């Protein structure tokens, strides 16, 4: 369990993290979302005690992580794949960390195998691709077999197989009853992985709820209808005060009337339907809608 209370970090001017409060529960994968520069990494670093909050507290299992003498058995973290000395081999990096926490060498070989780096364990990290570095970072996080795991943008640099693998890993870790907190700036990465979501923008909390509840926020619930007679159907629907847009090839997108009602109306007016589907709002849309005005680095626009 991770508990963050009124967490604020100021580096001089505008706060990077501003009065953030949320809880991350065990046994679930929690996505930590926000646009670039929203304060996700700063929050994770404060949870790990690497940065001191200006105001507020962050605890893991009820204890400030910084007060633990050794950390790997309590929290495993992948912060930045670059947090390794390029001159060391993967195995030397892990052995030193393991030794500092009295973790045996056998465990190092185990996690190297688990992330698929056994074959390159004795190569210097400087020669690793970003994806290999991510895997090494994940191996570091797993080293102490901890009940709480933090991953900062773990999918960066991973190939599609790697992305599928980390998703499976997160699900498995959560199924083992662990707390899994995964940051990302891409909602699509969370679509089928996260049970819960914590969404922030400009350092402030925008939402903390289950992924299902979050998806339901998407306000534009529309229905897609395909019919051989789009004009007639459109006229019927407009009479019901629905907003209808046609693509000219028999496909209508309808807002304001649900699918049941559209089927009923079509039947009553003797109109044939080839397709009738409710387009459920995606997490992505809900995310864009929510964070739209908190994006710091918007492409194609001076702010």
Partner 1 sequence: MSAGTRTGAPELPARVAPESEPPARFRDLVAAEWLKLWSLRSTPWLLALIAVAVVAVNANGAATESANFHSSGGAPDPFTEFRAVRAVVSDIGVLLVMLTAASVGTLAVAGEYATGSARATFAAVPARRHVVAAKAVVVTAVMLAYGAALVGTSFAVTQSILAEHHIDAALYDSGVLRALAASVLMAPVCGLVGMAVGALVRGTASALVTVVIVLILLPMAFDDDKASWSTALDHAQPLSAWERLVMVGPPPGWGWSTAGFAEAWTVFALWAAISAAVAVVAVDRRDV
Q: Which residues of this protein are in contact with partner 1, per CB under 8 A?
A: 1, 21-23, 25-28, 30, 45, 48-52, 61, 65-75, 77, 79-80, 82-89, 92-93, 95-97, 99-102, 140, 143-147, 174-179, 195-198, 205, 208-213
CB of 299 to partner 1, least distance (A): 28
Closer to partner 1 at the Cβ: 175 or 277?
175
State the DSSP string of 114-168.
HTT-GGGTTSBGGG--HHHHHHHHHHHHHTT--SEEEEESTTTT--HHHHHHHHH
Closer to partner 1 at the Cβ: 191 or 253?
191
| 105-114 vs 130-142: helix crossing angle, rounded to 10 | 130
CB of 277 to partner 1, least distance (A): 23
Closer to partner 1 at the Cβ: 76 or 162?
76
Closer to partner 1 at the Cβ: 23 or 279?
23
Closer to partner 1 at the Cβ: 140 or 183?
140
Rounded distance, CA 23 to CA 2, Å? 6
Backbone CA torsion sign across 157, 162, 164, 165: negative
Rounded distance, CA 297 to CA 72, Å? 35
Closer to partner 1 at the Cβ: 11 or 243?
11
CB of 153 to partner 1, least distance (A): 14
CB of 300 to partner 1, least distance (A): 32
Burial class (CB within 10 angstroms; exposed 0-12, middle 13-18, buried 19+) of 87: exposed
CB of 27 to partner 1, least distance (A): 4
Q: Which residue has the tokens 């992505």?
A: 284
Q: Is 238 left (phi over 0), alpha (psi -120 to 50) or beta?
A: alpha
């Amino acid at each position: 369990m991770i508990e963050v209370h009124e967490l604020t970090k100021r580096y001089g001017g505008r706060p990077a993290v501003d009065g953030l409060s949320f809880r991350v529960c065990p046994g679930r994968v929690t996505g930590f979302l926000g646009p670039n520069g929203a304060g996700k990494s700063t929050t994770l670093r404060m949870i790990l005690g690497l940065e001191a909050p200006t105001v507020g507290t962050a605890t893991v299992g009820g204890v400030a992580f910084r007060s633990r003498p050794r950390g790997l058995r309590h929290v495993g973290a992948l912060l930045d794949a670059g947090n390794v000395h390029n001159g060391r081999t993967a195995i030397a990096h892990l052995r030193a960390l393991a030794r500092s926490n009295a973790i045996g060498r056998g465990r190092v070989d185990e996690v190297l195998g688990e992330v698929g780096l056994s074959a390159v364990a004795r190569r210097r990290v400087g020669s690793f691709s970003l994806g290999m570095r991510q895997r090494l970072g994940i191996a570091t996080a797993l080293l102490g077999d901890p009940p709480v795991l933090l991953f900062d943008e773990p999918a960066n640099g991973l190939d599609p197989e790697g992305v599928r693998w980390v998703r499976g890993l997160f699900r498995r870790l959560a199924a083992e009853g662990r707390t899994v907190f995964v940051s990302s700036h891409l909602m699509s990465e969370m679509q089928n992985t996260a049970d819960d979501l914590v969404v922030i923008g400009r350092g402030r909390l925008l939402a903390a709820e289950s992924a299902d509840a979050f998806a339901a926020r998407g306000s534009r619930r529309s229905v897609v209808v395909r019919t051989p007679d789009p004009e007639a159907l459109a006229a019927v629907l407009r009479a019901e005060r629905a907003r209808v847009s046609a693509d000219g090839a028999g496909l209508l997108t309808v807002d304001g009337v649900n699918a049941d009602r559209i089927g009923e109306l079509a039947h009553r007016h003797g109109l044939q339907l080839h397709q009738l589907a409710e387009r459920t709002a995606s997490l992505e849309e809900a995310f864009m809608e929510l964070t739209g005005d908190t994006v710091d680095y918007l492409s194609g626009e001076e702010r």
